[in-house]
Chain A
Amino acid sequence: MKQQMVSGRTSRTMMLVVVAILSLVFSACAAQSSAPAADEKFVFGLVLVGPINDGGWSQAHYDSAKYVESKIPGSQMVYVDKVNPADRPNVKVEQVVDELIAKGAKLIITTSDDFKDGTREAAKAHPDVTFVHASGDDVVTGKAPANLGNLMGRMEYGKMIAGCAAALQSASGNISFIGPLVNDETRRLADSAFLGAKYCWNQRGGDPAALKFNVTWIGFWFNIPGVTLDPTKVVNDFFTAGSDVVISGIDTPEAIVEAGKAQAAGKAVFAVPYDFKEACAKGEAACLGVPYFNWVPSYTKLINDVKGGTWKQEFTMFGPDWADINAVETSGIGFAKGKALTAENATKLDAFIAELAGGLNLWTGPINFQDGTAFLKDGEVATDKQVWYMPQLLEGMEGQSVSK
């Protein structure tokens, strides 16, 4: 009997709570319904996988977009960051895109490999909006609707320079690479770093057999506790195992942070972070330099094309401006040298960059895959497509070519 009274009382109280809530909801609705006035601006939307201040991939996009926004009159950026299952469970790319379009976006740039399906669906749902998926391949595979293009930088060059810097400065020739998850893109970049390292190791007269290049994949682009390997631990394990340079392939700066700490503790170890021009700041004393994306030239062109109605569906690959790979307005791929790189090695690195600019192509055979099968015959040069769809690590590299 008591039980019944309690539950009767509870249900009445609950009813009142619900009524209160509903009235709040409806008053809020009324307040919400005023639509924003239309204006002359060109709004473009950015969907980011990490936070805008991740010191890596997402920040490179965000900062470039900010820069472009300040340079193109009337342009306005809207964005949603941290679109990933850990930070925003239940939020789909399509939903985020809807919100950006509700803010007036006419161009949507999605910036993670993992947004491939979502971007395609969103593009189908909004045929009047232009979509660009940075690092997808829907245009190549023919899955893209007419309003969806792809965009990616030839980071292979950045990674070759990174690998070269690592090989120039490594005392032991024991270099490690911390990778995200295993796919075509990440294999391609790890392989590029290895090719750069191998070339410069041999150039400086190192024993070819002494060069070790170990790749460990953490499982995602950044740390998700309980799901990925902890990148902080992975980097420290590298150092414990005798590596003196760690090259980072993930979105976040654990490699440079940990190398900086180890330097401060008196170890002669170094790191090459990734993605973001200012990444060295997290561990200056250990930083050999950073290969980074500069999205300014490609974003500028995109916005002008979409605004002017001249945008064409394309699979766009942009590279460094070899006249000056660090020119903000023109070079899509850059390499910012770090303070830890010695003056002598900096000169050698510049010579290597000049060689690349002069047409040196490290994707030239003979190159074997990790399993010993031939990738490129002697003198054969890889096509863009062969490089893009990289199926394996290369001979001489340690680590997994495919995920378990």
Chain B
Amino acid sequence: MKTQFVALRTPVIAMGVALAITAVLLLLAGADVLAAFGVLLGGALTTPSRISDMLMLLAPLLLCAVGLTTSFAAGQYNLGIEGQMTVGGVAAMWWLRGYQDGSPVILYWIGAVLCGMLMGAVWALLVALLKRYMHVSEIFAGLGFNFVALGLALYLVFGPWKRPGVASMSGTEPLADALWLPTLTGTRLTLVSPILAIVMLVIVWRLIRHTHWGLQVRACGLSALASVRMGVPATRRTFEAMALCGACAGMAGALQIIGVYHSLVPNVASGIGLMGLLVALLVRADVRWVALVAFFFAIITSGSIQLPLALSIDSSISGVLQGLIVLAIIVARARRGEEAA
């Protein structure tokens, strides 16, 4: 009992430190600290429309975080997640552009999601290939490919796919109404996105924790060299884990297109992949906690939109708080001498 208490103490203190630093920042900005935390931690849950917006942020965040726990399990720091999400959106849009009035919509939805997943997986595999055969760190390769993906989206939005007459940062011409995923009345919630996110969560959880494949992936993550000596096909497992992560991100990108933006916007990923990285850093390869931490981050991010209106505070404080939590917990882990699992 006592040892358990000691073990629990560090992250709780870390959380407290993060909240305290944020509070100090808010004080320095001359804000009402309690009210600000109220909005930040609870604002997203006050009305059906806000809850639905929060869930629509949670869905892609969860997908990215779930994907990243897979690549983390394999010991890969997949910073290319944003790019994988972006090309997922691009591929989805490519598929959707074939739509004509009267075509079976369901075919286009499923096709868009599959195209997104495929393209995301390919984008992630490029990074894995560069790492395996050219010895390029997956961190730098991933970041590089993020820029390439953004460039591709920008090129398409302002070039071949631009709306008639007016190329616009707000994206390509909106999709035909029929292609918009249906929403619950009075909200922007499309149930498909969160449901697919949860399905992927369960699948990845089973794969990582309860299959021989998952065991081998985790073995690669602990030590690629040792796992090879034990007869694990390390290269293959690493590639598969990266591809699975890319597919999750690509799915998120595709869902953003048919469920949220209804057109290709350059900023499909919009920092959700990076937020997913923060979630994954917190939970490491432990899939069980992904949903709760992602939920928490979605609440903070979504609630922060109200800050400028309610309290004249810049909404970027939510990012500060998230970053501080992750930093504090990593520092706490380091002090305790834990290695990244």
Interface residues of A (CB under 8 A from B): 3, 6-7, 9-14, 16-18, 20-21, 24-33, 78, 80-81, 84-86, 88-92, 94-96, 98-100, 102-103, 113-118, 125, 181-184, 219-220, 226-227, 389, 391, 402-404
Binary contact readout B289-322 vs A (1 if CB under 8 angstroms, 0 otherwise): 1001100100101000110110000010000000
A11 and B166: CB pair below 8 A? no
B45 and A29: CB pair below 8 A? yes
Which listed residue (B38, B154, B262) contacts A227, Cβ 8 A?
Answer: B154
- A residues near B43, Cβ cutoff 8 Å: 28, 32
B296 and A183: CB pair below 8 A? no
- A residues near B265, Cβ cutoff 8 Å: 85
A90 and B270: CB pair below 8 A? yes
B305 and A91: CB pair below 8 A? yes
A403 and B162: CB pair below 8 A? yes
B306 and A99: CB pair below 8 A? yes
How many residue pairs, one in A and one in B, have C-beta atoms under 8 Å apart? 158
The interface centre, meaning the residue of A17, A113, A184, A391 with most chain B CB atoms within 10 A of its CB, is A17
Which stretch, B6-14, B97-105, B130-138, touches the partner chain A?
Answer: B6-14
B271 and A89: CB pair below 8 A? yes
- B residues near A389, Cβ cutoff 8 Å: 165
The reply on B266 being an interface residue by CB < 8 A is: yes
Separation of A255 and B166 alpha carbons in the complex (Å): 24
Which stretch, B46-54, B110-118, B234-242, B244-252, touches the partner chain A?
Answer: B46-54
The interface centre, meaning the residue of B49, B262, B283, B293 with most chain A CB atoms within 10 A of its CB, is B49
The reply on B211 being an interface residue by CB < 8 A is: no
18 A–B pairs (Cβ distance < 8 Å), ordered by A: A3-B222, A9-B7, A10-B338, A12-B7, A16-B12, A18-B292, A18-B293, A18-B296, A30-B42, A92-B188, A98-B53, A99-B305, A113-B168, A115-B170, A182-B167, A183-B167, A220-B169, A226-B150
Who on chain B is nearest to A10 by CB?
A: B286
The reply on B70 being an interface residue by CB < 8 A is: no
Separation of A236 and B167 alpha carbons in the complex (Å): 26
B41 and A98: CB pair below 8 A? no
Interface of B is mostly: helix
CB distance from A103 to the nearest CB of B (A): 6
Separation of A103 and B311 alpha carbons in the complex (Å): 12
B169 and A85: CB pair below 8 A? yes
- B residues near A181, Cβ cutoff 8 Å: 158, 167-169
Separation of A29 and B43 alpha carbons in the complex (Å): 7
A6 and B338: CB pair below 8 A? yes
Q: Among residues 250 to 304 in chain B, which have CB atoms less than 8 Å away from a CB atom of chain A?
A: 260-263, 265-267, 270-272, 283-284, 286, 288-289, 292-293, 296, 299, 301
- A residues near B308, Cβ cutoff 8 Å: 80-81
B38 and A32: CB pair below 8 A? yes
Separation of A125 and B266 alpha carbons in the complex (Å): 25
- A residues near B12, Cβ cutoff 8 Å: 13, 16-17, 20
Who on chain B is nearest to A88 by CB?
A: B315
Which listed residue (A13, A27, A227) contacts B11, Cβ 8 A?
Answer: A13
- B residues near A86, Cβ cutoff 8 Å: 267
B41 and A89: CB pair below 8 A? no
Binary contact readout B68-86 vs A (1 if CB under 8 angstroms, 0 otherwise): 0000000000000000000
A90 and B57: CB pair below 8 A? yes
- A residues near B10, Cβ cutoff 8 Å: 13
Who on chain A is nearest to B262 by CB?
A: A117
- B residues near A28, Cβ cutoff 8 Å: 37-43
Which listed residue (B8, B168, B169, B292) contacts A13, Cβ 8 A?
Answer: B8
A98 and B49: CB pair below 8 A? yes
**B contact residues, range:** 35 or more
A10 and B341: CB pair below 8 A? yes
B309 and A32: CB pair below 8 A? no
- A residues near B286, Cβ cutoff 8 Å: 7, 10-11, 14
B41 and A78: CB pair below 8 A? no
B170 and A117: CB pair below 8 A? yes
A12 and B341: CB pair below 8 A? no
Who on chain B is nearest to A99 by CB?
A: B309
Take A21-B296, A115-B170 as given contacts and tell me if A227 and B7 are in contact as well, using a CB distance cutoff of 8 Å.
Answer: no
A183 and B165: CB pair below 8 A? yes
CB distance from A214 to the nearest CB of B (A): 20
The reply on B15 being an interface residue by CB < 8 A is: yes
The 10 closest A-B pairs by CB, nearest first: A28-B42, A89-B270, A114-B170, A85-B267, A183-B166, A29-B42, A28-B41, A28-B38, A89-B271, A9-B7
Separation of A32 and B34 alpha carbons in the complex (Å): 11
- A residues near B222, Cβ cutoff 8 Å: 3
Separation of A227 and B308 alpha carbons in the complex (Å): 26
The interface centre, meaning the residue of A90, A102, A183 with most chain B CB atoms within 10 A of its CB, is A90
- B residues near A84, Cβ cutoff 8 Å: 169
Separation of A391 and B165 alpha carbons in the complex (Å): 8
Separation of A33 and B39 alpha carbons in the complex (Å): 11
A24 and B41: CB pair below 8 A? yes
Which listed residue (A11, A81, A88, A116) contacts B170, Cβ 8 A?
Answer: A116
Given contacts A20-B15, A25-B299, 14 further A-B contacts (CB under 8 A): A3-B341, A10-B286, A14-B283, A18-B293, A30-B42, A31-B34, A32-B39, A80-B309, A85-B169, A98-B49, A114-B168, A181-B158, A219-B158, A227-B150
CB distance from B197 to the nearest CB of A (A): 15
CB distance from B314 to the nearest CB of A (A): 8
Separation of A11 and B288 alpha carbons in the complex (Å): 8
- B residues near A32, Cβ cutoff 8 Å: 38-39, 42-43, 45-46
- A residues near B271, Cβ cutoff 8 Å: 89-90
B289 and A11: CB pair below 8 A? yes
Who on chain B is nearest to A93 by CB?
A: B170
